[in-house]
A and B are shown apart, each in its own frame.
Chain A
């Protein structure tokens, strides 16, 4: 099914008799997702409203992310949360996956930039929430609930985002020699100072990476001050080129795991894991490859680890039983016939 309008999406859902997989570009699927009849959302395409002076974009869910990025760039703006530019990715998939890139440490996640949604629930009912203004507490915030709900509560049909001005200048500082566990204190030092760090990561090929963005003179002065501050961690150099797209983990043999933790917990976790594919968000996000079908043996920590590619769904530790009960209850209320696929 490839509906062109919200009304057709609603009809398709009402008429569905078996499992449906709401799909955009299919670029961000987790294990076991994407089963059932495909409800292809790419027919709902196009920008509905773009007001650069109000930092507002309203866009249909099936619009390619590349098109959104292009339209914004032409007006000197961007999606501040920097979703990875995967081939074929749609803006609806970005929202449904809460896909957020390195700039999350400064600008927040997709859920923070998302200010309004329209969606069709499991009974084929169109629901609106939020709107097109960035401050809105009118009623419950279902926008947040839908962001990252991965097609389990409804089919997103239209989204409103707060946009961000493109920075005039950008530089990346590099500390080449730190191992990942040692990188985290350096990243914390940078993020804990008045430098407006816009990304803080570690990558096996580049080492420790810290990005500064903004007006040109300001970037230069912050780069100098931050280099000073980080002197104790090793030699700081300004990097040529743009390593940031490489933070998105590439396919590798085995299963891909995504671990969210407090940066202060990262060293203990890393000591039980092979060399990670990357650290991002100042050490709060670890991507690591593990042998197929295995589970990591991790100490108690305050976050969670999830297998996002490979053998089958897995999450550690098990979700809190009360939260799990509420989630089940919500899914049953938004999708009483249980037709939306999801791995949660």
Chain B
């Protein structure tokens, strides 16, 4: 079980005064009725919950600046929140925190096709950014599966990826600038044309900082011309090793598809039961998608077909129509929902070198037997970003602990083969205490120094990312310096 630090007693004691000052500043934006703040008690890592002290829903950068200045003045911790779809507990509140939610900040501020960019308020959902430029023939490339719900501010905080990032990169590769409010209320613009500011790449370092450096209120995003077309193929294999080797061979041949998705047998079976996409019942399958005009697509697919033949596929299914293409994607897109039917699940997302795929899949198989737990694999194979889903039963005492234990072992395995704990979901509270597996103390110290520069009092989302013991001296400095006042 994940621990959270003791809430700041003096903040809890001054609850009413704090809420009154917030309400004074923004009368229509403050929620403090526990019946309503409960809606913010967790994110998509729903095993962990905590109701915040209050929730505020501002509408402008100026309002965010006023709120943060106030909280800074009162030394009240703040947890930024987008849509609350984090799988890592990134937006889970603490009892002594004010949640600042961006759900009312959804405007499009500017679209420039000539500069190939869009500027939006950071509460806008990922998908609606693409929708806003669709008519101009553009799209916003990073496409997390949660794109209908998740907000651009959350994407920036988590440096989120998507199915198409093998070709287009993740959030940080498509982010040109932000307006960000620091904890003391000061407003700063980071980035610039081409994402360059002329100084240090602060934009690059705030992207993926999990709401610990400031609140992003506006974002300038690169938009790309929509490709002429796209077409997937489905390739079935009788072993995971062959599927993994086929991925490496495709990349080695110099073809970079927009997506290479991988599903193993437990996942294929669950998905078939749920979505009936007509997938072959085999050990592993790949969905490979390429883009371009029809002749370009044919050229790439014929290369991929030739390569796949070398790995004795049990099936090579092409899509001749929109409907067939949709059916190929159907199972993959319903995979998470289908897993949900099997029970509660934890979704890991460690990344490994693609060359280590067979070894890691075998290792996960062994662990799954050892623990007696079902682990299904569905992931972005082209970039090695695994998504092992650990199925457990929240109502069986001890099952969550067991699921977390096998999860930790899988993450250790990812690091051991040269990979990392998390490829796109972030550390949050979920992987916080495993950071020592990947980093030595000086590595973490260097990262914490960066937070020191942005948020010297460690008021922003401070109980996340770093192991509690490692961040304690910094988090507690504030409490200690405040002690006489509280007494």
Contact = CB atoms under 8 A, between A and B. Distances in A.
Interface residue SS majority, chain A? mixed
B35 to A, nearest CB: 35
A185 B188 contact: no
B419 A133 contact: yes
Interface size class of B (residues with CB under 8 A): 35 or more
Given A53-B354, A284-B194, A319-B197, A141 B439 contact: no
Interface of B: 112-117, 137-138, 158-159, 161, 165, 169-170, 172-173, 182, 186-190, 192-205, 207-209, 225-228, 248-249, 251-256, 292-293, 295-296, 299-300, 303, 351-355, 380, 383-385, 418-427, 431, 435, 438-440, 442-447, 449-454, 465
Which of B199, B205, B452 has the most chain A CB within a 10 Å cutoff?
B199
B187 A135 contact: no
B157 to A, nearest CB: 10
B204 A139 contact: no
A54 B248 contact: yes
Given A133-B418, A139-B435, A344-B199, A108 B192 contact: no
B438 A194 contact: no
A148 B201 CA distance: 7
Contacts of A196: 292
B252 A215 contact: no
Given A127-B442, A133-B383, A334 B449 contact: yes
Interface residues of A, number: 84
Given A134-B384, A264-B115, A108 B173 contact: yes
Given A264-B114, A334-B446, A303 B193 contact: yes
A149 B423 contact: no
Contacts of B199: 319, 323-324, 327, 344
A326 B453 contact: yes
A333 B452 contact: yes
Interface stretch (A234-242, A243-251, A255-263, A289-297): A255-263
30 contacts: A55-B251, A131-B418, A131-B419, A133-B385, A135-B165, A137-B159, A137-B426, A138-B439, A139-B444, A140-B208, A140-B450, A144-B205, A145-B201, A188-B113, A188-B114, A192-B225, A193-B137, A195-B225, A217-B296, A221-B295, A260-B193, A261-B193, A302-B193, A303-B192, A304-B192, A304-B197, A324-B199, A326-B454, A330-B449, A333-B449
B249 A53 contact: yes
Contact of A136 (B202, B203, B420, B445): B420
A152 B335 CA distance: 47
Given A303-B192, A303-B198, 18 more contacts: A131-B420, A137-B208, A137-B425, A164-B256, A165-B255, A185-B114, A188-B113, A188-B115, A191-B116, A285-B194, A302-B192, A304-B192, A304-B196, A304-B197, A304-B198, A322-B182, A322-B186, A344-B200
Contacts of A327: 199-200, 202
Contact of A137 (B422, B439, B452): B422
A4 to B, nearest CB: 22
A81 B319 CA distance: 34
Nearest to B356: A54
A79 to B, nearest CB: 15
Which of A127, A192, A302, A326 has the most chain B CB within a 10 Å cutoff?
A326
A11 to B, nearest CB: 16
Interface string A258-283: 00111111000000000000000100
A171 interface: no
A56 interface: yes
A281 B194 contact: yes
A139 B470 CA distance: 13
B439 A128 contact: yes
A109 B454 contact: no
Interface in A120-170: 121, 125-129, 131-145, 147-149, 152-153, 164-166, 168
B387 to A, nearest CB: 11
A13 to B, nearest CB: 14
A168 B111 CA distance: 35
Contacts of A127: 442-443, 446
A218 B465 CA distance: 45
